[in-house]
Amino acid sequence: MRKPVSAFAVHAVLALYTALALFPIILVIMNSFKAKRAIFNTPLTPPMPWNFDPIGYSKVFGDSAIATYYMNSITVTVGTIFLTLLFGAMAAWALTEYKFRWNTALAIFLSIGIMVPIRLGSVSIIQLVSDLNLINTLTALILVYVAQNLPLAVFILSEFIQQIPRDLREAGRCDGLSEYNIFFYIILPLLRPAMATVAVFTMIPVWNDLWFPLLLAPTGGKQTITLGVQQFLGQYITDWNAVLAALSTAIIPVLVLYVIFSRQLIRGLTSGAVK
């Protein structure tokens, strides 16, 4: 039996950590509803009738470009998640299930991808993207993000695939399924928890990234929301209401995605792949 004291201690630490993590977010959301003066004078007071001012939100929603930036971010994130999971799972399956000539070399190559930050290659990526005429397109961002996330996805998914009993795949073969059908109808459903894990690890850095949007899609209405918010940050004047409102609303889509994945995620973290 665990002593209640230690359980209490664990929860105290967790609560402290949660508070620490949530504090800035709550601060941003609180202040996004306040008048500019109140933001600076009393940053820690919650929005009250006397300091309430939705001007930031009306600016953000009034600005049609911002809506486009949202859609851009969502498209890039969802596209990246989808392609990373699909190709990651397929590659992981191929690398674990089939023996072919370059199997080991390929696996090592991918694990190097985990260790080397993709930003080191920024210059050649810009060159490549510009040669492909993909500057200022969402395609460029999605391609780069998929490349960035694929190695870790393959690595994590391989671990899970290895835990799927061999008999299950062979039962599929005896049942007359093609290799693709085995993958799509037996392996993928069993990988759901693992894929949720990968999805969460993938989506947050992609959603928050400023680097590649700045390099590859800085203009032409293809900015992501993190980049789009910058328009409210001026060298001399910053529209804090708008910045805070934009940041607050930017939390919502990731939150929704997280809720979608979280049930599976927790199963993935606690259970291993398949019993």
Partner 1 sequence: MADVKIGNLHKSYGTVEVLKDINLQVEDGAFVVLVGPSGCGKSTLLRSIAGLEPITSGAISIGGRNVSDLAPAQREIAMVFQSYALYPHMNVENNMAFGLKFAGVPKAEIADRVNEAARILQLEPLLKRRPRELSGGQRQRVAIGRAIVRHPKVFLFDEPLSNLDAALRINTRVEIARLHKLLKATIVYVTHDQVEAMTLADKIVVMNKGRVEQVGKPLELYYRPANLFVARFIGSPAMNTLAATLDGKGKAAAVAGVSLPLPAAVSGTGEITIGFRPEHCSIGKTGIPARVELVERLGETGYVHARTADGAALLVEVKGDPGLAQGAEVRVAPAAGHLHLFDGEGVRLAGT
Q: Is 24 in the site for partner 1 (CB under 8 A)?
A: no
Q: Which is nearer to partner 1, 11 or 173 (CB)?
A: 173
Question: How many residues interact with partner 1 (rule CB under 8 A)?
Answer: 17
Backbone dihedral angles phi then psi of residue 242, each to the nearest 5 degrees: -65, -40
Contact between 215 and 126 under an 8 Å Cβ cutoff? The reply is yes
User: Rounded to whole angstroms, how far apart are CA atoms 85 and 195?
Assistant: 6
Q: Which is nearer to partner 1, 85 or 203 (CB)?
A: 85
With CA atoms as reference, report the closest residue to 207 among 254, 245, 244, 149. 254
Among positions 159-198, residues that touch partner 1 (CB under 8 A) are 165, 167-168, 170-171, 173-177, 181, 185-186, 189-190
User: Rounded to whole angstroms, how far apart are CA atoms 66 and 56?
Assistant: 12
Among positions 220-239, residues that touch partner 1 (CB under 8 A) are none
User: Rounded to whole angstroms, how far apart are CA atoms 265 and 125?
Assistant: 32
User: Rounded to whole angstroms, how far apart are CA atoms 13 and 19?
Assistant: 10
Q: Which is nearer to partner 1, 114 or 186 (CB)?
A: 186
Q: Which is nearer to partner 1, 17 or 185 (CB)?
A: 185
Q: Which is nearer to partner 1, 111 or 271 (CB)?
A: 271
Least separation in angstroms between residue 170's CB and partner 1 is 5
What are residue 52's DSSP bridge partners?
A: 34
User: Rounded to whole angstroms, how far apart are CA atoms 268 and 188?
Assistant: 14
Among positions 66-85, residues that touch partner 1 (CB under 8 A) are none
Q: In this structure, what token pair is assigned to residue 187?
A: 């392996």
Q: Is 272 in the site for partner 1 (CB under 8 A)?
A: no
Q: Which is nearer to partner 1, 2 or 275 (CB)?
A: 275
Q: Which is nearer to partner 1, 96 or 248 (CB)?
A: 96
Least separation in angstroms between residue 198's CB and partner 1 is 19
Least separation in angstroms between residue 75's CB and partner 1 is 30
Provide the 8-state DSSP code for 121.
G
With CA atoms as reference, report the closest residue to 77 among 233, 251, 253, 271. 253
Among positions 88-147, residues that touch partner 1 (CB under 8 A) are none
Q: In this structure, what token pair is assigned to residue 107?
A: 């696996």
Q: Is 30 in the site for partner 1 (CB under 8 A)?
A: no
What residues make contact with partner 1 under the rule CB under 8 A?
A: 165, 167-168, 170-171, 173-177, 181, 185-186, 189-190, 274-275
